[in-house]
């Protein structure tokens, strides 16, 4: 649905602006995207460490777990999961 209304999966990460609409209408019917073409589609967060972890703590703050204060926190994963949903991912 996001794609059809002009929201890029990368709108936050790559500063891609969403299209503005004064009104949006959805017809009452069933919308599906079909079966995925690949079995696993996702992202491997640790593939870009330490760049991601250094950037993440600067943008979102320190991790919340007492054992891992430098770990990723829920604010970071909120953006990650939203992006993965828009990209039709099923693996993190």
Convert the pLDDT of each residue in 22-63 to its tens digit: 998 888 988 777 777 888 888 887 777 777 777 887 888 877
Q: Is residue 56 a part of any domain in this protein?
A: yes
Which range of residues forms the domain containing residue 78? 1-18+38-92
Q: Is residue 49 a part of any domain in this protein?
A: yes
* Entry pTM: 0.73
> Which residues neighbour 56 within 8 Å (Cβ) at sequence distance 6 or greater?
72, 76
Q: Is residue 25 a part of any domain in this protein?
A: no
Q: Is 26 left (phi over 0), alpha (psi -120 to 50) or beta?
A: beta
For the chain, the domain total comes to 1
Q: Is residue 29 a part of any domain in this protein?
A: no
Q: Is residue 69 a part of any domain in this protein?
A: yes
Q: Is residue 26 a part of any domain in this protein?
A: no
Q: Is residue 31 a part of any domain in this protein?
A: no
pLDDT classification of 65: cutoffs 50, 70, 90: low
Contact 56, 72 (CB under 8 A): yes
């Amino acid at each position: 649905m996001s794609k059809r209304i002009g929201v890029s999966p990368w709108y936050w990460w790559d500063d891609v602006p969403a299209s503005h609409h004064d009104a949006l209408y959805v017809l009452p019917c069933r919308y599906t995207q079909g079966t995925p073409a690949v079995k696993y589609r996702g992202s491997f967060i640790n593939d870009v460490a330490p760049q991601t972890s250094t950037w993440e703590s600067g943008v979102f703050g320190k991790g919340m777990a007492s054992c891992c204060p430098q770990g990723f926190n829920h604010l970071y994963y909120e953006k990650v999961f939203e992006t993965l949903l828009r990209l039709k991912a099923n693996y993190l």
